[in-house]
Amino acid sequence: MSNPQPFRSRAGAASNGVPQGDTVAEYATYPEAQAAVDRLAKADFPVKQVSIVGSDLKSVERVTGAMSYGRAAGGGALTGAWFGMFLGLVLFIFSPSGASWPVLGAAVLVGAGFGMLFGIVSYSIRRRRRDFTSVMQVVAGSYSLVVETELGNRARNILNRPDAAETPASEA
């Protein structure tokens, strides 16, 4: 039995792996890599053939504050109110008897109440294990632009030209 080949996109990159081709530039930040792709696009480069590959990935968790019963109740109430508003709007729009605005308000209040209760109970259960709130993100140490091998020199030339952002390739 032969090994199945992974699906390859138009860029020749395996859809389930790291794109193959020439690394034409490397940047310290993602916005710099995006700006380089913008320069290529403005120069009429086939950007469907470009990939931004992040390397040296790190998980960063930024602590945003201390958790308390008040914050748990407030967050739960807000989430519950949104859910209640959604259900109230569904009832308001699709009700054959013509539900009124008080039904929508009641749905928001009931949702906020249940959300608050759920927030307090879930915080009580996990209280001593996690007494803070945080935001998690994955960041890369560097970002490389990878293009198909036959387009590598063209991409390098565009990125190394000082006027690449202003002059499309068809005018150059």
Q: What is the 3-state secondary structure (H, E, C) of the chain?
A: CCCCCCCECCCCCECCCCCCCEEEEEECCHHHHHHHHHHHHHCCCCHHHEEEEEECCEEEEEEEEECCHHHHHHHHHHHHHHHHHHHHHHHHHHCCCCCCHHHHHHHHHHHHHHHHHHHHHHHHHCCCCCCEEEEEEEECCEEEEEECHHHHHHHHHHHHCCCCCCCCCCCC
Nearest to 104, CA basis, from 116, 90, 117: 90
Whole-prediction pTM value?
0.56
Q: Is the Cα dihedral 45, 51, 56, 62 positive or negative?
A: positive
Q: Give the per-residue pLDDT at 16.
A: 67
- Residue 113 CA to residue 50 CA, distance in Å, equals 50
Average pLDDT, the chain: 83
For 131, phi and psi rounded to 5 degrees?
Answer: -100, 35
Q: Give the per-residue pLDDT at 132.
A: 85
Q: Give the per-residue pLDDT at 169.
A: 46
pLDDT tens, per residue, the chain with 172 residues: 444 444 344 444 446 678 888 899 999 999 999 999 999 999 999 989 899 999 999 999 999 888 889 999 999 999 999 999 998 888 888 876 766 778 888 899 999 999 999 999 998 888 778 788 889 999 899 999 999 989 888 999 999 887 644 444 444 4
Judge whether 116 and 73 are in contact, CB under 8 Å.
Answer: yes
Q: Give the per-residue pLDDT at 94.
A: 80
Q: Give the per-residue pLDDT at 4.
A: 41
